Amino acid sequence: MPRGRPENQDSISKMEAMRRTLAALGNDSPPKAIHKHLKSEFGIAMNPGMLSNYKSVIRSEGNKGAVNHPPAATKSTEGFSLADIQAVKEVADKIGEDKVRQLVKVIAK
């Protein structure tokens, strides 16, 4: 495996695993909860300093995007907003493509 990549079924980077963990638990989650989620969901163990560093980088990435986009870019009176699509994408990444299809079938009835 290349350096920086965890050995897990998804073969995702530690940063991506951290992004998914914060999306699932929230940005204000305590380090112990984040560590537990990373280990159980992705098989990744991270020391507290690295965990804090990754969390800071991810939070700063989010702040940069929010400053440059006007509120109208994320809100919509018709159809789906960008935020709606991002939320669905996060769920799809978390539960998998097959389960999303099953969910759509149930909702469409």
Dihedrals φ, ψ of 4, to 5°?
Answer: 90, -5
Query: Tens of pLDDT along 24-66?
Result: 998 888 889 999 999 999 999 988 888 888 888 888 876 654 4
Is the same domain home to 102 and 55?
no
Is the same domain home to 8 and 51?
yes
Is the same domain home to 40 and 3?
yes
Which residues span the domain enclosing 109?
71-109
Neighbours of 1 (CB within 10 A): 8
Q: What is the mean pLDDT of residues 88-94?
A: 80
| Nearest CA among 81, 87, 58 for reference residue 69 | 81
Q: How many domains are there within the chain? A: 2
Is the same domain home to 6 and 28?
yes
Is the same domain home to 29 and 63?
yes
pLDDT category of residue 104 using cuts at 50, 70 and 90: confident
Is the same domain home to 56 and 75?
no
Is the same domain home to 58 and 86?
no
- Hunting for tokens 């978390």 — which residue is that? 94
For the whole prediction, is pTM greater than 0.85? no
Distance CA 21, CA 35 (A): 9
Query: Tens of pLDDT along 80-89?
Result: 777 777 777 8
Structure tokens at 8: 């897990």
Is the Cβ–Cβ distance between 34 and 51 less than 8 Å? Answer: yes
Checking if the pLDDT of 5 tops 50, the result is: no
Q: What is the mean pLDDT of residues 85-106?
A: 81
Neighbours of 19 (CB within 10 A): 20
What is the rounded average pLDDT for all residues in the chain?
Answer: 76
The pLDDT of residue 78 is: 63
Classified as helix, coil or strand, 12 is coil
CA angle 29, 35, 39 (to 5 degrees): 135
Is the same domain home to 39 and 90?
no
Is the same domain home to 56 and 25?
yes
Greater model confidence, 13 or 109: 13
